[in-house]
Amino acid sequence: MSAVAEYTIAVLLLVGGFFTLVGAIGLARLPDFFTRLHGPTKATTLGVGAVMLSSVVFFSSRGEGVGVVEILITVFLFLTAPVSANILAKAAMHIGVGTTGQTRGKPWDQ
Amino acid sequence: MMSRLGFPQPYLSLTLFLVWQLLSDGISGGSVVLGAVLAWLIPQITRGFWPQRPAFIKPWHLPGYLLRVLLDIVSASVTVSVLILRAREPRSAFISYPLQLEHPLAITILASTISLTPGTVSADVSDDNKTLLIHALDTDDEQAVIDEIHRRYEKPLLEMFQ
């Protein structure tokens, strides 16, 4: 494997790890349910995206063909992450989870 | 013509077929046959969930739109990371976004885009499909968020679907 590929993989893994970590920190320290929803849905998009890219570079540089399966994993993740976030938010509004005092506007009650 | 042959959703069938080829280990006779069966069967089973035929008028706009969303995800992730790591309380807000899109698939794409781009999560659609409830993580100006979403995402989708 060439040095360029190794450095690229290392950088991508570090970037992915950093954003996943930040997402987890956000989940732990943001003040209420709706703000916490932002941490995991966002970290997965960029964190997993970067890890997937590094996997594509790894297998391509070993001459085993471009990793189509990794790209599919990301596509499926991007399709399902908004849906789960949406269902979580709907459920939270349905049972009336509280928000921080600083939140402007109100959730609907349909 | 496609719908009389048993393909009520040509785009969905095509996507299913291609994804199945990518998932299986190399294209073979078996994967083509099974992919064709799935491409025919799944749209039949899910027929009731699709309210009308897809109104994808200009699908060639889609790659450009996806590229823009990807770039936005990267730049906005950095913003959200900075916010999480700082000690300040986020100024979050619920925003009612007035929808101009009418096609259910277009609204789904817009809502998913809003959820994927960091800083905003779409929480609910009103029963009449006219308003989208968005939770913004950190904003001072609700109108600015609405204008930004309209300019960056809804306008291209309006062009694609109408």
Burial class (CB in 10 A: 0-12, 13-18, 19+), B153: buried
Task: Give the residue extent of every domain in chain A.
Answer: 3-94
Tell me if A65 sits within 8 A of A6, measured CB to CB: no
For B73, other C-beta atoms within 10 Å of its C-beta total 18
How does pLDDT run across A31-86, given as a tens digit for each residue?
Answer: 888 888 887 777 677 888 888 888 888 888 877 667 777 888 888 888 888 888 88
The length of chain A, given as a count of residues: 110
How does pLDDT run across B9-35, given as a tens digit for each residue?
Answer: 777 788 888 888 888 877 788 888 888
How does pLDDT run across B45-104, given as a tens digit for each residue?
Answer: 877 777 665 566 677 778 888 888 888 888 888 888 888 887 677 788 888 888 888 877
Phi, psi of B134 (to 5 degrees): -120, 140
Distance CA B38, CA B25 (A): 17
Distance CA A105, CA A85 (A): 19
Query: Over 70: is that where the pLDDT of B134 sits?
Result: yes
Query: Over 80: is that where the pLDDT of A6 sits?
Result: yes
| Confidence class for position A11, pLDDT limits 50, 70, 90 | very high
Mapped onto helix, strand or coil, the DSSP state of residue B136 is strand
Sequence-ordered alpha helix ranges (H) in B29-92: 29-45, 62-85
Phi, psi of B120 (to 5 degrees): -135, 145
B31 inside 8 A of chain A by CB: no
Could you tell me which of A10, A37, A22 has the C-alpha nearest to residue B123?
A: A37
B32 inside 8 A of chain A by CB: no
ipTM, two decimals = 0.76
- Residues in chain A closer than 8 A to B23 (CB atoms): 69, 72
- Residues in chain A closer than 8 A to B91 (CB atoms): 102, 104
Distance from CA of B69 to the nearest CA of A (A): 11
